[in-house]
Each structure stands twice: as structure tokens, then as C-alpha cells.
Structure 1
Amino acid sequence: MDVMTNSYPIRKFEVNYDVQEVQARFLKIYTGLVYDAMESIGLSGRAMQSGLYPLIHTMKVAGPAFTAHGIATPSRDEKVHDIRLGMFKSMTPGCVQVRDTQGDLSCGQFGEISATAAAANGCVGAVIDGSTRDSNYLIDMGFPTFCRFRNPVEAFGRFMIVDYQIPIYVKGIDGLMLINPGDYIFGDNDGVVVVPYEKTIEVLEIAESWFEAEAKSRKAMAEGRDPFDVYEEFGRF
């Protein structure tokens, strides 16, 4: 249920696990392993379309999705600031902001001021199914930001966020992909995967077990053992 503050609703999504602990565990592994873990339990195609990458290769992001729905519009309605205030006040510690853009190419849909406000409200990164601007500022402030392209053009008068913490669609590898508030967002230099909220811990535990098996397999092969024997023993190759 929405809680109204002034003219904007507060919508907080509370997860049933320790956000910091789960984030630390995800950050030790990699997206390919998490994708494979999802496929192993019948969750296929849970990756964003190729071309969405971090501003620099060392950036990684992990946390429950805070969704934001944007549209292309020439409107300069100042009430948009009420929406932004409600959006920032709805963020919870450890969340990752995910913005859809409806394919808009006209401007930078996320920048340093937005990142600063989000970080002040507990957000740990952003995944923009579109573009950013102020890239050097985002890099220098160490705010993990994933996007498809960069654009110096101001969004006001071209694009705006009109709702938040609702189901949104982004470009996925098999077409449009639904992201719900609280779904787990994990990104590294290979791209971004999305784990359904209720499967977060199950997928993480599978990926962690495979990560350990891969480390043993890697060590055994480096020592010159037969690859077939290694695979037979550890199940990862």
C-alpha cells in the first residue's frame, strides 16, 4: 500500500534476507555462473540484452531492484520533482535502481546528481536500459552504473520518470523482460542478470557451490590432470 507524503507516495519493498550479506556473496562470483544457475532450475533468458555494460570494467553491482518507469516527453511540468522526491524516499539500503526508457535515444536519462541523491538514500548502483551523462563524475564517485550508451543532453523537456516501484519491461536477450521490485540485479563486465525475488537465495547457493567446484577444477587442470577426469570429479569445466 502507498503511504502518501505531501503529493507523492512512498513505496518501500522490504526483502526477507540480509541485504548486505547477500550482496557480499554475489560480488564474489560472476554473472555467467548466476545465469547458468538460473537455467539449471528452469529460469532461461534472465539476462538483459547485450550492449548494456558498466562505465568501467571493474564496476559490479548487486542488490534488489528498485524499478523506475520513464517515458519520452517534451513536458516540463515541475510536478515531476514530486515524483523524484517520492522515488528517492522510497529507496531502501542496498537497492539497485533499474530504469526503463522505452527505447528513447534523445538524452542522458541518468546522471551524477541523480546518483548522488540515490546514494544518499541507500541505493548502491544503477542499471539504465538507455543512457547516462556525467560519466566521469559517476566514475570518480565510484557509483556502479550500467548503461547502453552515453549522451550529454539534459533529460528535462525530453524524458522523465513517471512512476516507480512497479513492474517494468527492459530489453532482455529473448525480447522484453519483466523486472519486478525486489528481483535481484547482478551486473559485471559481461552484462546484467536478473533473478526473480523468490529465487534469490536458491540461485545464489547453486552458483556458490559451482564457484567452489570451478576453483578446484581450475587448479586440477593447471596441475596437468586429464580434463575428462577433472570434469568427472568436479562437474564443472
Structure 2
Amino acid sequence: MEIITNAYPIRQFELNYDWQEIQSRYLKLYAGLVSDALEHLGYHAQCMSSGVYPLLHTMKVAGPAFTCHGIATPSRDEKIHDIRLGMFKSMTHGVVQIRDTQGDLSCGQFGEISATAAAAHGCVGAVIDGSTRDSNYLIDMNFPTFCRFRNPVEAFGRFMVVDYQIPIYVKGMDGLLRVNPGDYVFGDNDGVVIVPFEKTIEVLELAEEWFASEAKSRAEMAKGRDPFDVYSEFGRF
């Protein structure tokens, strides 16, 4: 859905589930289990490549993708800069902002003011296939932020978001990984997994089933039971 307001496009994605309920359920899981569920369903390359981790190891993120496409550019054209205004106004409650950067290394491509504006419009976290700055501010405001590295250099005049809510590519474990608006983004201290939109609920339910089995298996293993018997009974090890 696209609406033109004050010359800036507002692109909003309609979900077919309650975002708060689904988020709370995903946040009880962990990235390895979500990845395992995707593998079981035939999706073998849905993890971002190694190096994308939270600013704080306890941070987790879960929500439908709000995609942002950025490029390296020396331009200081305010018309390009103002694309961000439409971007923030397009955000809805529960989304996770995910930005491609085309491998740019020149600056910090996401910072505290961007996070503040995004959070005010319902965004619950950010995954940057590049760098952040203002890290201490992001940590202090408890805004889950995932990135590859940190860089204090200003982005304006070096890097710019030029479009949003379109399919983007980020670095994946097996080459480029496509992320569509609405795909489910899940991340913890092990990395970030992208769940195709149409598999959001199926992956969640399978992972929850395995999570319960793992809890039983873990408890029995701790008692010293024969590992073969435990695996035969619960199927997770």
C-alpha cells in the first residue's frame, strides 16, 4: 500500500497476524532453532553471514522486515536526504529495520537519532549490514541493534538511504540473501535469520515444538540418562 503525503511516499505492509503475539513467541526462541526449522522445511540459506551481531549480547530482535536500500554517495542533496522522512513515517508497530549498505565502509550508517525516530514510529530494532555509530546511546536506550562493525564518521555526504520497503540483498551465509518487506527477522547473539513471510507462522510453530522437546531432553541428559535413550524419546539433541 502506497500513499503520497507531502510528496513523500508512505509504504506500509499489512500483516495477517498479531505482531505482538508472534513477537513474544519468537523472542522465547533462539537463532539456532529458528535456522534448524527453516532447514527442515527446505530453506538452507536464510542466515546472514557471520559478523552481524548485537551491540550487547543480551539483545534480541524479532519482527517483520522494514527494508532500507542504501548507497555510498557524496551527495548532500536535501531531496535525497528527505527520503528518510517518508521512510520513518512509513514504519508501523513491530517492524525491524534492516538496511543493506552495498559493502560501504566509509561511515556509521545508523545512529541514535535514527533509532529514536524509528522507535517513535513503532520500530522495535535494527539490523545493519554494515556499521553503526552512537553505540553507547543505542545501548542505553535499549534499542536492539545488530551490525558488522562500528564507525564514528558521519554518514551525510558519504552514504544515503535512497529507497525503502523494496526487496533488498544482504550478505548471506551462501552468497547474497534476499529480504522482502514483511519477511520475519530474528536475531540474537549468534546472528540473524530471515524467515520468508509466508513461512512466519509455520517456522514458529515447528521451532516451538522442538523447543519444548529440547527442554525435556536437556533435563533428562542432566540426570545422566543414556543419551541414546533420550534421543530416541525426544528426538532433539
Q: Shorter chain as normaliser: what TM range?
A: over 0.9
Structure 1 match to 2:135:
135
Off by >3 Å, runs of 4+ in structure 1: none
The answer to whether the Cα contact below 8 Å between 2:81 and 2:160 also exists between their aligned partners in 1 is no
Q: How does 1:121-160 map to 2 (within 5 A)?
A: 121-160=121-160
Structure 2 match to 1:60:
60
Moved more, 217-226 or 77-86: 77-86
Moved more, 201-210 or 3-12: 3-12
Same amino acid, percent of matched pairs: 80
**Is it true that 1:31 corresponds to 2:42 in the alignment?**
no
**Is it true that 1:44 corresponds to 2:49 in the alignment?**
no
Structure 2 match to 1:213:
213
Q: Deviations over 1:52-110 (max 9, x none)?
A: 00001000000000000000000000113431111011101000000000000000000
SS in 1 for 2:4: strand
The answer to whether the Cα contact below 8 Å between 1:76 and 1:156 also exists between their aligned partners in 2 is yes
How far is the alpha carbon of 1:2 from its aligned partner? Answer: 2.1
SS in 2 for 1:10: strand
Query: Which segments of 5 or more consecutive residues in structure 1 lack a partner in the other structure?
Result: none
Structure-1-length-normalised TM-score: 0.99
The CA distance in 2 between the partners of 1:145 and 1:46, in whole Å, is 19
Query: Which segments of 5 or more consecutive residues in structure 2 lack a partner in the other structure?
Result: none
How far is the alpha carbon of 1:3 from its aligned partner? Answer: 1.0
The answer to whether the Cα contact below 8 Å between 1:7 and 1:82 also exists between their aligned partners in 2 is no
How far is the alpha carbon of 1:6 from its aligned partner? Answer: 1.4
Kindly provide the amino acid, as one letter, of the partner of residue 213 in structure 2.
A
The CA distance in 2 between the partners of 1:110 and 1:80, in whole Å, is 16
Kindly provide the amino acid, as one letter, of the partner of residue 236 in structure 1.
R
Q: Deviations over 1:168-191 (max 9, x none)?
A: 000000000000000000000000
Kindly provide the amino acid, as one letter, of the partner of residue 149 in structure 1.
F
Structure 2 match to 1:100:
100
Q: Deviations over 1:38-61 (max 9, x none)?
A: 000101110000000000100000
Structure 1 match to 2:13:
13
The answer to whether the Cα contact below 8 Å between 2:98 and 2:128 also exists between their aligned partners in 1 is yes
The answer to whether the Cα contact below 8 Å between 1:66 and 1:182 also exists between their aligned partners in 2 is yes
The CA distance in 2 between the partners of 1:55 and 1:213, in whole Å, is 31
| CA RMSD, 1 decimal | 0.6
Structure 1 match to 2:79:
79
Structure 2 match to 1:70:
70
How far is the alpha carbon of 1:8 from its aligned partner? Answer: 1.0
The CA distance in 1 between the partners of 2:117 and 2:226, in whole Å, is 54
**Is it true that 1:231 corresponds to 2:231 in the alignment?**
yes
SS in 1 for 2:171: strand
The CA distance in 2 between the partners of 1:156 and 1:56, in whole Å, is 26
Kindly provide the amino acid, as one letter, of the partner of residue 223 in structure 1.
K
How far is the alpha carbon of 1:7 from its aligned partner? Answer: 1.6
**Is it true that 1:198 corresponds to 2:167 in the alignment?**
no
SS in 2 for 1:88: helix
Structure-2-length-normalised TM-score: 0.99
Q: State the number of aligned residues.
A: 237
The answer to whether the Cα contact below 8 Å between 1:93 and 1:121 also exists between their aligned partners in 2 is yes
Structure 1 match to 2:185:
185
The answer to whether the Cα contact below 8 Å between 2:62 and 2:96 also exists between their aligned partners in 1 is yes
